[in-house]
Structure 1
Amino acid sequence: MQRVLVMGSSGSGKSTFARRLSEMTGIPFVSLDALYWKPGWVASDNAEFGQRVAEVARQPQWVMDGNYTRHGAGELRRHSSDTVIWFDLPRRSCMFGIMKRIAGSYGNVRPEMAEGCPERIDFEFFRYVWTYRRQQRPKLLDYFQGLRADQSLVCFTDRAQANDYLREIAFRQKRASIH
């Protein structure tokens, strides 16, 4: 794994996973939210955002957290990645995840967010997560159809699978360091 896309619904645990994977492997972490949002929750222009993402996607290594498949150099990211990790969790898990996140970081800027974008209560965002499986999931499934045979797609349907995956990576790293 050198170029890893971590995708799925907000609240699924993908950002936490991506940061942990980055820390374990030493591969740089990239948050698409941090590249997209400007202070005060102002959205970037699509061309500007696409240019920023393209610069990062051309780097030799990254763990990239976020979807943004329709803009933000989505095709380049898919083509450049060697691994796609997909958090395909149920709605209740994602809704619980965002409620827990808001409760724990309300008013503060999370590590994967752009400066000047503190955690807040946003009913449009709640609706996005609530309707994610019906409206956004099919778009990701279409996006994954463009993966090549030499690219890996790893799907987690619960957070325990993601934690097991990270434990397996840690185990392999420990074994490799012994030999």
Structure 2
Amino acid sequence: MELGEAKRILILGCGGAGKSTLARRLGAATGLPVVHLDGLYWQPGWVAMERAAWRRTVENEIAKDAWIIDGNFGSSLELRLSRAQAAVYLDYSRAVCLAGVLRRVWTTHGRVRPDMGAGCPERFDLSFLRWVWDFPKRDGTHVKALLAAHPEVRCVTLKNRRDAQVLLRRLEGADDGSI
């Protein structure tokens, strides 16, 4: 299955890599509805959703026929992979991801981004920066292992922003290569 044929796509990768932006652009290119997990999980004031409610929310989203879901959320990744047809993994360097987080904080600090829950304005958070720094060895390894355990899910790994642009051009029909 080519990525462009998939109707249920996961976007995974480190914070600051651009998962939400890529999801929006993929949604525009494919016509698939986009779901931002951060927007579902975080309640006003950055309060996390209760675990059982979170699982029900994810189950409701993945039961749909078509979607692009962006976000890692390891506690529900196996569940999402069970329904996904494809995944795009943004395997970017720490420097790129940290720069992405800092750029995002600089440009949207104090405002709620479209991919976030209501009442969750962008903020500068040192613990989040540490999570970004640690992602490749801790969470990234886990995500890669789960992707490998699901060979039925077509996985496209992007190593940098240029790869993402190539993918988008191909899906938008500006490039005749297949992804």
What TM-score do you get using the length of structure 2 for normalisation?
0.91
Per-residue displacement from partner, 1:48-71 (whole Å, max 9, x unpaired)?
Answer: 1111011000000000000112x2
Query: Percent of counterpart pairs with the same letter?
Result: 35
Of 103, 107, 121, which aligns to 1:100?
A: 103
Quick one: distance in 2 between partners of 1:109 and 1:121? 13
2:148 paired residue number: 145
Of 150, 157, 160, which aligns to 2:159?
A: 157
Which residue identity is paired with 2:66?
A: Q
* Cα distance, 1:90 vs structure 2: 0.4
Matches within 5 A, 1:161-176: 161-171=163-173
Matches within 5 A, 1:4-153: 4-69=9-74, 71-72=75-76, 74-148=77-151, 150-153=152-155
2:155 is paired with a residue whose SS is strand
1:11 is paired with a residue whose SS is coil
Quick one: distance in 2 between partners of 1:161 and 1:142? 22
Runs (4+) off by over 4 Å: none
Quick one: distance in 2 between partners of 1:76 and 1:141? 15
* Cα distance, 1:115 vs structure 2: 0.6
1:177 paired residue number: none
2:3 paired residue number: none
Quick one: distance in 1 between partners of 2:124 and 2:174? 40
* Cα distance, 1:34 vs structure 2: 1.0
Which residue identity is paired with 2:168?
A: L
Quick one: distance in 2 between partners of 1:157 and 1:136? 16
Stretches of structure 1 lacking an aligned partner (at least 5 in a row): 175-179
Per-residue displacement from partner, 1:106-141 (whole Å, max 9, x unpaired)?
Answer: 011111100100000111101100111121111112
- Quote the RMSD (CA, aligned, Å): 1.5
* Cα distance, 1:45 vs structure 2: 1.2
* Cα distance, 1:14 vs structure 2: 1.2
Quick one: distance in 2 between partners of 1:75 and 1:151? 12
